[in-house]
C-alpha cells in the first residue's frame, strides 16, 4: 500500500485468539461474562462511593476514578472482539484501529498514574497522618486526577498521530485481538524509527516513572510502619495498603510479563494470551480486591443494598395502590 489517501480507507484484520471454530461460542460466552462482571462490578463501586457520605474521602475518590477508568479501558477492546466473534469477521477499519489505539493508550496510562496517586495517598495517610487532611484537600485531589488525564491524553494523541502518518503494506493482519500499537507499527512499509523510539520512551516513562514513585512511597511506608511499637497499630496501618498492593502487583506483573515475554520469545500468541491479564482480568478483579478486603466498602455495600431494597418496596407499594 502506498502513502496517501488510500491508507485512510484501508482495513486491518484482527486475528484474535487462535481457537477452533467450534470453540468460538465458548470464547464469546466467557469474555462476555467477564466484560459484564467488569462493568457492573466497577459501576457498583462508583455508585457506592458516590452515594455513601462515609466514603467521601480522598482514598475512595481515587478508587472510584480507577473503577471508571477500568470500565473505559476494558470497553476499548472487548466489545469489538465480541462483535467480531459474533459476526465471524476479523475486520476493523483504519479509523477504528487508530481510535481504539488512542483510547487504549489513554486508559492504560491513566491506570498507571492513578495507581501511583493512590500510593502517594497511602504514603501521606501513614507517614503524615496529622497533616493528611490538610495536604490531601479537595483542590489537590482534583489536580491529582486532572493532571494524569492531561498527560495521558497528550501521550496517546502523540503516538496515535505518528501511527496515522505511516503507510502500510498489503499485509494488514494484526496477530492480536485489538490494535496493539507495536503490532500495528510492525505492519508499516516505511521507516518506523521515530515511532519505535517514541514507543520505547513512553513505555519507560509510563512504566518506570510511576513504578519508581510507587516503590518510593512504599519504602517510606514500610519504614514508618516499622517504627510503630504496637502490633495492632502495625497491622492496622498495613491493612490499609493490602488492597492497593494487590492491584499494583497484578497490574505490573501482567503488564511487564506481556512485554518481556514478547520481547524474549517474539511469540505473538503468548503475547496475546498475556495481554488478557491486564486488559480483561485485572479490571475485573479490582472491584473484588477492594470490596472483599475493605471493611468500609463492605459496610457501604450493605447500606446500599438495604436502601435499594427499601426503595424497591416503596415502588412496588405505589404500583399496588394507584
Q: How confident is the model at residue 4 (pLDDT cuts 50, 70, 90)?
A: very low
- For residue 195, what pLDDT is reported? 92
The domains of the chain are located at 5-320
* Least confident range of 61-65, 150-154, 189-193: 189-193
Higher pLDDT, 319 or 300: 300
C-alpha cell at 209: 516513572
Question: What DSSP letter does each residue of 40-86 carry, written as one string?
Answer: HHHHHHHHHHHH-GGG-SHHHHHHHHHHHHHHHHHHTTHHHHHHHHH
Residue 103's pLDDT band, with cuts at 50, 70 and 90, is very high
What 3-state class would DSSP assign to 240?
A: helix
CA distances from 314 to 51, 53, 248, 307, 310 (A): 19, 23, 42, 11, 6
73 against 318, higher pLDDT:
73
Residue among 282, 294, 264 at smallest CA distance from 45: 294
Share of the chain above pLDDT 70, in %: 86
Say how many C-beta atoms besides its own lie within 10 A of residue 137's C-beta.
10
Q: What is the pLDDT of residue 263?
A: 54
Give the per-residue pLDDT at 24. 81
Q: CB under 8 Å to 145, separation ≥6 — which residues?
A: 61, 62, 65, 114, 117
pLDDT grade, residue 5 (50/70/90)? very low
Q: Residue 207: which H helix or E strand, with range? A: helix 193-226
Q: What is the pLDDT of residue 20?
A: 67
Q: Report pLDDT digits (tens) over 181-214.
A: 988 998 888 888 999 999 889 888 887 889 899 9
Long-range contacts of 27-30 (CB under 8 A, 24+ apart): 27/85, 28/82, 28/85, 28/86
Tell me what the mean pLDDT of segment 83-96 comes to.
89
| CA proximity to 46, closest of 247, 291, 252 | 291
Listing DSSP states for 21-38 in one string gives: GGGHHHHHHHHHHHHHHH
> Cell match 424497591: residue?
312
Q: Is 12 left (phi over 0), alpha (psi -120 to 50) or beta?
A: beta
Is the predicted pLDDT of residue 217 greater than 50, yes or no? Answer: yes
Q: Can you give the pLDDT at residue 308?
A: 74
Confidence of residue 257 (pLDDT cuts 50, 70, 90): low
The fold adopted by the segment(s) 5-320 is Rhopdopsin 7-helix transmembrane proteins (1.20.1070)
Place of cell 500499537: 181
Q: Return the higher-pLDDT residue of 310 and 225.
A: 225
Residue 297 dihedral angles phi and psi, to the nearest 5°? -65, -40
Give the full edge-to-edge strand order of the sheet including 91-93.
Answer: 91-93, 11-14, 173-174
DSSP letter (8 states) at residue 289: H
Q: What is the pLDDT of residues 246-255, one digit of tens each?
A: 888 888 877 6
Of the ranges 85-89, 157-161, 239-243, the best mean pLDDT one: 157-161
Answer yes or no: is pLDDT of 240 > 80: no
Question: Do the beta carbons of residue 67 and residue 287 sit within 8 Å?
Answer: yes
**What integer is the mean pLDDT of 96-104?**
95
Q: pLDDT at position 6, please? A: 44
Closest CA to 178 of 284, 285, 250, 268: 268
pLDDT tens-place string over residues 118-135 = 999 999 999 998 999 999
Task: Please say whether the dihedral angle defined by the alpha carbons of residues 185, 186, 190 and 193, taken in this order, is positive or negative.
Answer: positive
Of 113, 57, 39, 110, the residue nearest 240 (C-alpha): 57
Let me know: does 122 contact 244? Beta carbons within 8 Å.
yes
Q: Dihedrals φ, ψ of 90, to 5°?
A: -110, 5
pTM of the model: 0.88
Q: Please give the share of the chain, as a percent, with pLDDT higher than 90.
A: 41
Amino acid at each position: 500500500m502506498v502513502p496517501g489517501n488510500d491508507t485512510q480507507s484501508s482495513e486491518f484484520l484482527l486475528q484474535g485468539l487462535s481457537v477452533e471454530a467450534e470453540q468460538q461460542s465458548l470464547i464469546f460466552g466467557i469474555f462476555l461474562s467477564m466484560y459484564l462482571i467488569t462493568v457492573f462490578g466497577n459501576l457498583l463501586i462508583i455508585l457506592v462511593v458516590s452515594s455513601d457520605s462515609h466514603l467521601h474521602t480522598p482514598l475512595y475518590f481515587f478508587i472510584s476514578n480507577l473503577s471508571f477508568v477500568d470500565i473505559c479501558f476494558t470497553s476499548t477492546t472487548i466489545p469489538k472482539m465480541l462483535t467480531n466473534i459474533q459476526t465471524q469477521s476479523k475486520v476493523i477499519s483504519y479509523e477504528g484501529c487508530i481510535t481504539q489505539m488512542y483510547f487504549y493508550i489513554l486508559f492504560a496510562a491513566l491506570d498507571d498514574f492513578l495507581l501511583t496517586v493512590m500510593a502517594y495517598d497511602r504514603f501521606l495517610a501513614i507517614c503524615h497522618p496529622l497533616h493528611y487532611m490538610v495536604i490531601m484537600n479537595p483542590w489537590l485531589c482534583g489536580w491529582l486526577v486532572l493532571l494524569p488525564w492531561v498527560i495521558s491524553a497528550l501521550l496517546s494523541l502523540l503516538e496515535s498521530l505518528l501511527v496515522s502518518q505511516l503507510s502500510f503494506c498489503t499485509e494488514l493482519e494484526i496477530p492480536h485481538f485489538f490494535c496493539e500499537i507495536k503490532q500495528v507499527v510492525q505492519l508499516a512499509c516505511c521507516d518506523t524509527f521515530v515511532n519505535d523510539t517514541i514507543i520505547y520512551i513512553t513505555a519507560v516513562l509510563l512504566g518506570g516513572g510511576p513504578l519508581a514513585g510507587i516503590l518510593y512511597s512504599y519504602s517510606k511506608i514500610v519504614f514508618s510502619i516499622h517504627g510503630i511499637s504496637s502490633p495492632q497499630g502495625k497491622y492496622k496501618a498495613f491493612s490499609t495498603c493490602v488492597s492497593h498492593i494487590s492491584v499494583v502487583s497484578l497490574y505490573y506483573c501482567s503488564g511487564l510479563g506481556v512485554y518481556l515475554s514478547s520481547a524474549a520469545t517474539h511469540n505473538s500468541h503468548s503475547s496475546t494470551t498475556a495481554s488478557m491479564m491486564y486488559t480483561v482480568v485485572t479490571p475485573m478483579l479490582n472491584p473484588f480486591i477492594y470490596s472483599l478486603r475493605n471493611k468500609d466498602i463492605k459496610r457501604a455495600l450493605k447500606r446500599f443494598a438495604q436502601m435499594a431494597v427499601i426503595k424497591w418496596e416503596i415502588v412496588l407499594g405505589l404500583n399496588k395502590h394507584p
